Amino acid sequence: MMPGYFIHIWLFFFAVFVREIKVEEVKKGLYSRVELTGEKLDQHTADSLKSVEWTKRNRSTTCLCFRLTITKSSVSYSQCCGTARFYLNNNTLILENVTERDEGVFIETIDTGDRTKEWLNVTLTIQYPPNATGIVVSWTSSTSVTLKCEVSGLFQHLMWKREGVSILEKHRHSFSERNQTLHISNITSSEYGSYSCIASNAYGESEKHTYITGNGTRDETRSDQTVLSSGLTLTCVLGLCLVFYCLYKYHHRHRAENGKTTDGGEAAIDLGIYQEIPDFGEVTPLPCVYTDFIKPRESSQASAAAQHFEESGYSEVGPSCREPVSNEESTACPEAGEE
């Protein structure tokens, strides 16, 4: 009898202190505005209201989101519910830009003057748009190919496109697994190109691309990475060429300013790639020897010529001797010992 007695007591206090417990479920999209509305407060409840509290229970943690104390006219919010606002006239707690951390069970507690409490439990579930993670391509033969769109999350619709044009189901195109898989039979070269799958639900959509060419595929994401890598490589090569050009110009200008010799007069060491041909030195003219082989007719001219040769350091070549031709003209050659 004792256990039954305690049960009746518990039911009595439950009926007195707890007037109503309501459980609801709300599903909202990511970054949306959520309104958690309780029962409309009647005039009697509003007049006897002492406080209103909203708490959130998420997994193993519980925090106080909002508290309104009527007797003290105080309002307090906490950060565990993000950006929240409460409106007493319609008994609504509003959450702005909800994220994954806002998921949980929200509990409203109303304390009235007659010690009666009303409870409201609202389970908030955040809905996300689907995420298309990739397209798996498999060739069943040389002319038949299967494309499967991998999607994480729940989706309501899935559509396939080729070069931006929707693909309709016909004799050579068929779909399966809620349109996740596309089968193409007897594919021709005119059907090569970019294929994309678009998964969507009420909260958004996601798209993934791939490229089919012959008996193979090319992921456009990887292609963009390849183009990016090529661009970076070309930029590095151009940068190195610019550095070498600047070094060459600097060395050429430095060599032109310093000249070809050092301060000690010694030849400067040329570190350039090309060997510079040195300029020819100044040529010293050879001395000229002037010889007058025509004997002056007058004695004054002879003495002047002799004086000129003596001053120049050269001897005058005397008249030549020859054999007499006649008695009238004869020039005797001096003897060897005669001056």
What are φ and ψ of residue 223, in 5° steps?
Answer: -60, -45
Tell which of 75, 107, 127 closes a domain.
Answer: 127
What are φ and ψ of residue 11, in 5° steps?
Answer: -65, -35
CB 223 within 8 A of CB 213: no
- Residue 249's pLDDT band, with cuts at 50, 70 and 90, is confident
CATH number at residue 157: 2.60.40.10
The answer to the question of residue 196 being in a domain is: yes
Per-residue pLDDT tens digits for 297-327 = 555 555 555 555 455 555 545 554 444 444 4
- Which DSSP symbol is given to 60? T
Window from 53-67, 150-164, 320-334 with minimum mean pLDDT: 320-334
| Same domain, residue pair 70 and 139 | no
Tell which of 127, 155, 181 closes a domain.
Answer: 127
pTM: 0.49
| Same domain, residue pair 144 and 111 | no
Q: What is the pLDDT of residue 117?
A: 80
Strand partners, 152: 131
pLDDT greater at residue 73 or residue 158 = 158
pLDDT over threshold 80, residue 214: no
| Domain membership of residue 87 as a residue range | 19-127
| Same domain, residue pair 102 and 198 | no
Q: For residue 287, give both structure tokens.
A: 């001395």
3-state class (DSSP) for residue 212: strand
For the segment 13-24, the average pLDDT, to the nearest whole number, is: 55
Per-residue pLDDT tens digits for 274-299 = 445 555 455 555 555 545 545 555 55
For the segment 260-268, the average pLDDT, to the nearest whole number, is: 44
Per-residue pLDDT tens digits for 32-53 = 999 998 878 888 888 888 889 9
240, containing H or E segment: helix 220-258
The answer to the question of residue 105 being in a domain is: yes
